[in-house]
Structures are given as structure tokens and as C-alpha cells.
């Protein structure tokens, strides 16, 4: 029996964990619900803890190098320690809150390439940790975010790419250790712009909308970036013509090419 317990602690014949999500489509500020099922192995085991969390795969820049890193940005403990009998199944339902700043992975029924966010599960046993596979979730935009995205489409901007970058945007309400950038190619009427990068930084009441505009180089000047940050209420955004509002800002920066 002692030898079996040793093997179980090393992962041989021990408990296994599987997570099933009730609904994979969520929005920032919402809740993803599911159940963790722990299957007992060939021997009784002492479970120290069980937790679920959200993980994103983000870009990191360090020493002029770029690489990808998995970042867990929220975590929920599911109960305390307990004894798992051999061969038994222990089921634990959960509701994991989605932080308001969580990046968007889907828009208008399309998955944004490179956006990987999912639920992680961790089962801690004496001298061993069993981490389950990443269970993907689809994060759809809030209505206020959707209004801004539709305004860009209405103005003729074309989606180019999206990424998640480790770091902070100055002057915003950001609390997570990373942020999302959604990149659009500028249409021809904005002759001075190459592209625009859009970021949302939300909480329960409002969101900061961050625009980084890449200006084309002029005849005697190089290209440059211009930043704009404005605030949008999550519950009172409907009264604004966002296409007209954005057009005013974008035209000011990129309406004509700066030749001198």
C-alpha cells in the first residue's frame, strides 16, 4: 500500500482532473460556469487544494526580444483539503468571474486570430500538482465595445490583427498585467494614417478607449505615433454617434498627409 501511495504521489495510478464548461461564450464582467470532476486513482489520496483560473497567452518584450508567455490573471479556490477515495468521482461546480478588462477573443461571430484565453484547473496533491488542459472560452465584446468596433467598420477601417501585450497603458484604469491591441488598416480618406491600434480598459462603470494612430512619413519627416484616450460609459453610450465622434478625432490626426 505504501508503494502504491508513492506511485500515486508521483502521478502513477493517481487522481486525474477534468473540467467541463457549461457555456463557453462570455462577456467581460460576466461569469463562466462549469464543473470540475476529479477521478480517484488506484489508491486513496489527500487532496490539498483545487482551483480554477483564467489564462491568457501574451507577448512579452525583454532585452530587444519578443516571446510568448502564459499569464494567469484570475484564480478561484474551490473548497479546502479533503480525502479522495480510490476509484471515486468528486464533482465541484464553480462560477468564475470574468474581469472587466479581459480581452475580446470573438467579434461578429469571428474568432480573432491569436487570441487565446481559457480556464485552467489545478489539483494539488501531496508532493504533486496536476494541471488540466486549457479549456478555451469565447469572450465577446460588451455592447459599448461593440458600438466602437462597429463605428470603425462603418468608417471603412479594416481589421488587421489583434494581440495581447504584457505591460501597462499610462493614464488608464488598467489593473491587469497586460492589455489588448486591436489593429485596423486605415481607409484611403485618412491619407495621413497607416493604421490605428485600439485598446479597451474597462471596469464596472466605464471604459477607457485608447487609440494609437500610426502616421505616415512626410517628405521631410518620419512617421510618428499619436495617442488619444477618451472615456465611454458602459450604460449611457447609446446617445452618441460614435462613427462621427471617431471621424472627428481621426481626421484631425490623419485627414491629410504632413509633407513638411
Residues present in the chain in total: 260
pLDDT (tens digit, 9 = 90+) per residue, 24-47? 999 999 999 999 999 998 888 888
State which H helix or E strand residue 11 sits in. Answer: none
- Class for domain 13-139, per CATH? mainly beta
The DSSP code for 114 is T
pLDDT on residue 63: 81
pTM > 0.95: no
d(CA 216, CA 256): 10
> Which residue ranges make up each domain of the chain?
13-139, 143-254
pLDDT mean for each 10 residues of the chain (260 residues): 37 76 97 95 89 96 88 94 90 97 95 95 76 88 98 96 96 96 94 92 97 66 68 95 93 58
pLDDT on residue 146: 97
pLDDT on residue 130: 60
Q: Which cell numbers in the block locate residue 58?
A: 501574451
d(CA 213, CA 47): 52
Amino acid at each position: 500500500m505504501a508503494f502504491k501511495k508513492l506511485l500515486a504521489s508521483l502521478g502513477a495510478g493517481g487522481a486525474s482532473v477534468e473540467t467541463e464548461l457549461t457555456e463557453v461564450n462570455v462577456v467581460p464582467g460576466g461569469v463562466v460556469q462549469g464543473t470540475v470532476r476529479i477521478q480517484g486513482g488506484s489508491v486513496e489520496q489527500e487532496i490539498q487544494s483545487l482551483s480554477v483560473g483564467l489564462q491568457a497567452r501574451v507577448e512579452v518584450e525583454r532585452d530587444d526580444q519578443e516571446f510568448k508567455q502564459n499569464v494567469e490573471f484570475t484564480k478561484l479556490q474551490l473548497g479546502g483539503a479533503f480525502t479522495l477515495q480510490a476509484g471515486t468521482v468528486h464533482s465541484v461546480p464553480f462560477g468564475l468571474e470574468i474581469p472587466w478588462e479581459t480581452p475580446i477573443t470573438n467579434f461578429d461571430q469571428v474568432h480573432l486570430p491569436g487570441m487565446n484565453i481559457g480556464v485552467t484547473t489545478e489539483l494539488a496533491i501531496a508532493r504533486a500538482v496536476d494541471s488540466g488542459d486549457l479549456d478555451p472560452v469565447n469572450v465577446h465584446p460588451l455592447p459599448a465595445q461593440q458600438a466602437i468596433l462597429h463605428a470603425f467598420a462603418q468608417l471603412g477601417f479594416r481589421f488587421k490583427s489583434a494581440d495581447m501585450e504584457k505591460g501597462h497603458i499610462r493614464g488608464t484604469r488598467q489593473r491587469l498585467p497586460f492589455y489588448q491591441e486591436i489593429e485596423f488598416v486605415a481607409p484611403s480618406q485618412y491619407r495621413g494614417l497607416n493604421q490605428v491600434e485600439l485598446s479597451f480598459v474597462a471596469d464596472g462603470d466605464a471604459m477607457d478607449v485608447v487609440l494609437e494612430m500610426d502616421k505616415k512619413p512626410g517628405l521631410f519627416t518620419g512617421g510618428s505615433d499619436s495617442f488619444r484616450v477618451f472615456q465611454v460609459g458602459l450604460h449611457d453610450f447609446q446617445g452618441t454617434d460614435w462613427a462621427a465622434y471617431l471621424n472627428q478625432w481621426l481626421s484631425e490626426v490623419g485627414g491629410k498627409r504632413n509633407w513638411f
